[in-house]
Structure 1
Amino acid sequence: MKEIVFAGGCFWGVEAYFKLIDGVVTSTVGYANGHKENPTYEEVCSKKTGHSEACYLTYDEDKISLAELLKAYWAIVDPTVLNRQGPDVGEQYRTGIYFTDQEDLEIINTSKLEEQKKYSAPIVTEIQPLTKFWDAEAYHQDYLEKNPYGYCHIPLDEIRKKMNKS
């Protein structure tokens, strides 16, 4: 299994979206690349920890490539906006791609260069090695499965229809 971490605003929707994709094996929401050890949601929201809300994925490279996952990621974020996605504002809602395998960096950078062609503004998505990842509290895991009418900035119903999944 391979691993990648995506930050794209509120992690509930990012997790629900990637769980729709064949080849994604596991997903865990949490807090990436901050400086506070084992932060709570409230601490991350205080803007004092440096973490982003993120989704840690493991995926089967025989079913989906990193390039395909990156294409799916770019489809749900506005990578030109700093510290905001949808109505969510704050550094914890920044976009980010955090890798665990240095060999993935070339694929990520190539994907970013290709995505940049779609925008006149520069892409501000962080691309960094994953230095820390702390699992979010249990109630955040699979949140939109447990709360089907919960808030989400990603149009999951439209995406499910396109994917023919309910």
Structure 2
Amino acid sequence: MKVSLTKFISIAVLSLTFMSASALASHHNSQRLDIFETVVADPSLTTLVTAIKAARLEDTLKGKGPFTLFAPSNAAFVELSEGTLGDLLNVKNKQKLAAILTYHVVAGKMMAADVVKLNKVKTVQGDDIVIDSSDGFKINNATVIKTDIMTSNGVIHIIDRVILPEI
């Protein structure tokens, strides 16, 4: 009887240990990445990651937020005039690049269903972007191609063009 009780207690302790470790891993995996980490994890946004790093906006997009990011895809950057991206990534143009990137960010968490109800919204850069939902979902001249990517500090909508402010 003593051996059986010892085995039972050992099995119970091991079971509790594995259940606790499993619950901890599950809790850790359920936590969302922040906006910057989510962008880094998406292979269709590698050019945006390069631009964010060049403008030194990583900490901003890791911040408390909440923010809404209209994230240009890699294909969107290809659509820029020849030489534009290389010029923007030049260290001497860091402020211009930061202004362009913050033109893609809105303070607050705005789901697609909320955005399409508006005509315009002010960006972190300071200018308004125009919202057109009459034929799809567009921000200025960019079509929103993927919506409502949830992050720990906001939401991301992927767009097919880089939108440029008047600077």
TM-score by length of 1: 0.27
Structure of higher CA gyration radius:
2
Higher helix share: 2
TM-score by length of 2: 0.27
